[in-house]
């Protein structure tokens, strides 16, 4: 019938494996200090350390690298309970991810930090902000957290930003050329999360339209978002 458009192709959101090995970690000035901390273990300045930085900056990747070499267990701060603390520290090393305000049990974390100190265990915390900026009601825990040394991951420079685009595309098995990489790098916010979102959107639209990933497609998408 005239005026009726053809069927719209569906894009299925299939899971994409992201490698968290040391070989796949992209080094740059933004994360050099954090990588140095992970690689210097067990010669840490403190048994409990914290990696702070914006969403998608590589904290979890670094935590996974450290967990592999230290034999550490990993858990989210949100899932930490007082009853789970002894088992969590059973290997002598633990990663606690995503320490965000009002999203964790303060007594459980306080118990964890005390037991880690008593047992000589290593703990690597990750958060989007330094401990001083996290609103903590328990005074003793607030004091403990503010004494934890912090290593901050910074915003990516141009070289690292482009390398991240290439990696995110490779993780999704997207074939892109330099013109696409450069266009994304110059038209998105200079942040890890924004670049990841741009690549995900480009991949989804390419699948939906049945079109290759090109600079023209990237231009259409980014223009639509402006």
Q: Is the dihedral of CA 136, 137, 138, 143 positive or negative?
A: positive
Q: What is the CATH number of the domain that holds 106?
A: 3.40.50.300
Whether 14 is in a domain gets the answer: no
Q: Residue 77: name the closest of 55, 56, 105, 58 by CA.
A: 105
In the predicted structure, residue 225 carries a pLDDT above the cut 60:
no
CA–CA separation, 126 vs 124, rounded Å? 7
Phi, psi of 122 (to 5 degrees): -100, 140
End-of-domain residue from the set 96, 131, 152: 152
> What's the rounded Cα separation, in Å, for the pair 185 and 195?
8
Q: Is residue 2 a part of any domain in this protein?
A: no
Q: Band the pLDDT of 16: cuts 50, 70, 90.
A: low
Q: Do 168 and 147 lie in a common domain?
A: no
Tens of pLDDT, residues 38-63: 999 999 999 999 999 988 788 999 99
Q: Encode pLDDT of 154-171 as tens digits.
A: 888 888 889 989 988 998
Parent domain of 139: 32-152
Do 40 and 104 lie in one domain? The reply is yes
Structure-block tokens of residue 50 = 């914290």
Same domain membership, residue 165 and residue 147: no
Residue with tokens 């497609």: 217
Q: Is residue 207, in this structure, part of any structural domain at all?
A: yes
Q: How far apart are CA 36 and CA 151, in angstroms?
A: 10
109 in the same domain as 81 = yes
């Amino acid at each position: 019938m005239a005026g009726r458009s053809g069927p719209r192709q569906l894009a299925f959101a299939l899971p994409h494996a992201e490698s968290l090995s040391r070989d796949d970690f992209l080094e740059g000035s933004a994360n050099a200090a954090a990588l140095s901390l992970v690689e210097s273990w067990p010669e840490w300045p403190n048994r409990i350390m914290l990696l702070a930085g914006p969403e998608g900056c590589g904290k979890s990747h670094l935590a996974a690298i450290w967990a592999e070499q230290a034999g550490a267990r990993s858990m989210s701060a949100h899932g930490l309970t007082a009853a789970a603390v002894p088992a969590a520290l059973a290997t002598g090393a633990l990663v606690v991810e995503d320490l965000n305000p009002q999203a964790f049990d303060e007594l459980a974390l306080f118990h964890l930090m005390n037991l880690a100190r008593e047992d000589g265990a290593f703990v690597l915390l990750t958060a989007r902000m330094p401990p001083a900026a996290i609103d903590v009601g328990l005074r003793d825990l607030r004091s403990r957290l503010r004494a934890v040394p912090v290593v901050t991951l910074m915003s990516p420079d141009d070289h690292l930003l482009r390398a991240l685009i290439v990696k995110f595309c490779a993780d999704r098995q997207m074939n892109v050329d330099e013109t696409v990489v450069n266009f994304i790098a110059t038209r998105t916010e200079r942040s890890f999360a924004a670049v990841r979102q741009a690549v995900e959107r480009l991949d989804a639209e390419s699948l939906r339209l049945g079109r290759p990933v090109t600079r023209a497609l990237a231009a259409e998408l980014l223009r639509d978002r402006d």
